[in-house]
Amino acid sequence: MIHFVLKCCQQILHYFGPFPELTKIYLQKLLGLWVHPESSIRAISFLNIYKIATDLPYPYINMCLKGTYLSLVHNTTFYTPKTELVDFMCKCIVELYGIDFVASCQHASVYLRHISVQLREAHIAQSKRIGSSNAHENIYNWQTIHSIHLWVKVLCAHPNQDDLWLPLAHPLFQILHGLITLVPTSSYYPIRCHCVRMMNQMVIVRNSVKPLFLNPTFYLMEMLNYCVVLQQKKFKSWKGEQLNFQYILKVGDRYMATKAFMDSIVDEIHINLLTYLCCYDRSVSFPELAVPVLSFLKHCFASLQIVSPSLLKLKSLYEAVEQTSKLLSTKLNEVNFAPNDIQKVDQFPRQFKQPTPLQKYHQKIQKHAQQPNTNKGKQQELEEELENDREINHYLDELDEDELDDDEVEGVDQGDPYDVVNSEEEEEDEYEDDTAQTDNKTKKRKL
């Protein structure tokens, strides 16, 4: 019924313009239905919001932009693999903020400034120890992470729009840097991985249009240094599975100093460092960019007597980066232009018609990452088949038991004629046996 009413109202929304109070009330109801558990109601409510923003005059688009963002912040207090609502809301807001870039930039700058003020207050309280020591908890939550991720998605959806990138990119970088350095302990490494992932996403999208340079390798190398120190000690006994940093913000004390925690950190370092270096694998600056990474990895491998299986991934990454660096250095030795010649520098990546060793390694990792999902799918199918077989067998057993019970009831209550005849014959045989025994006893007494 709600879906039918919203679909009918969508056709007459252009008549709501002369009635601003009625439109505000209707928009508030739509924002409430936008987070409805049923997906069809969520979709039709957003279509109504989108039509209000596009068809009605100017002030209404600001109401739509503000209302959708605040509803996202209020409904993202937690995040799990089963929460589809957060991803749906982010996609809708990205579409909505692509209507008017001037209004979107104004709203985004206001909300980013609000986050930066909270972050600055947390930094001041953390440095001076003002108040409680848990001042970072006001900023280390899912609401902040999802709001920052939303603005990253808005920028990545429109890589050609300088009206968004020029005023918003630098504040976003500063906020991400402030989040990482607020509490740089190992328990908050998941937040660091979230921030590095967002940086890589922005670099990948923007480099396809204009060159953008960010260097999050220092944060990853610091995490790797912790893993090297952790491997030299004894791990805590823990039989749990490997942690997934995508759905957590803080690691508990019982997971610290465990092998599963170290494996999770190494996996995040491996995939984030690989994606970052692949963005510049054909750039003129790649040999210089790879020098600190290669030197630090080499130092880590030299300091360890026994390399764990999880760290072997980084060793193969080291070889791929080294091969790519040598390939680019040989190409650069044959070049005649200077670094200040921007046109020829931009044309240099086009000389590589085949993928680099680092890009081949990245493709290989992506194929291996897709294989466990297929195996899990096969395992789930087998488990479902086994469950169906068990249900069928259980159902057949119940049917057999019911048939046996019916036979017993029919034989006892209604009386089976064959059972009656057999019982009479057995009684006659017993009577004849008794009479024969008594006759034999009397004959013995007479003798």
Which stretches of the chain score pLDDT less than 70?
A: 130-133, 232, 234, 236-240, 305-307, 371-447
- Say which residue the tokens 């840097």 belong to: 177
Query: Got the DSSP string for 390-418?
Result: HHHHHHHHHHHHHHHHHHHHIIIIII-HH
Task: Look at residue 377 in the predicted model and tell me its pLDDT.
Answer: 47
Token pair of 383 as six digits: 């488990």
Q: Which tens digits make up the pLDDT trace of 301-357?
A: 887 766 677 778 888 899 999 999 999 999 888 888 888 888 888 888 888 878 889
pLDDT of residue 272: 94
pLDDT of residue 255: 83
pLDDT recorded at residue 436: 52
Using only C-alpha atoms, the chain has a radius of gyration, in whole angstroms, of: 36
d(CA 262, CA 310): 8
The model's pTM is 0.78
pLDDT in tens, 131-161: 556 778 889 999 999 999 999 999 999 999 9
Q: Which two tokens stand for residue 153?
A: 């998605």
- The percentage of the chain sitting over the pLDDT mark of 90, rounded to a whole number, equals 40
Of 30, 33, 27, give the one whose Cα is nearest residue 63.
27
SS3 at position 389: helix
Round to whole Å and give the CA distance between 425 and 74: 86
Average pLDDT of the chain, as a whole number:
81
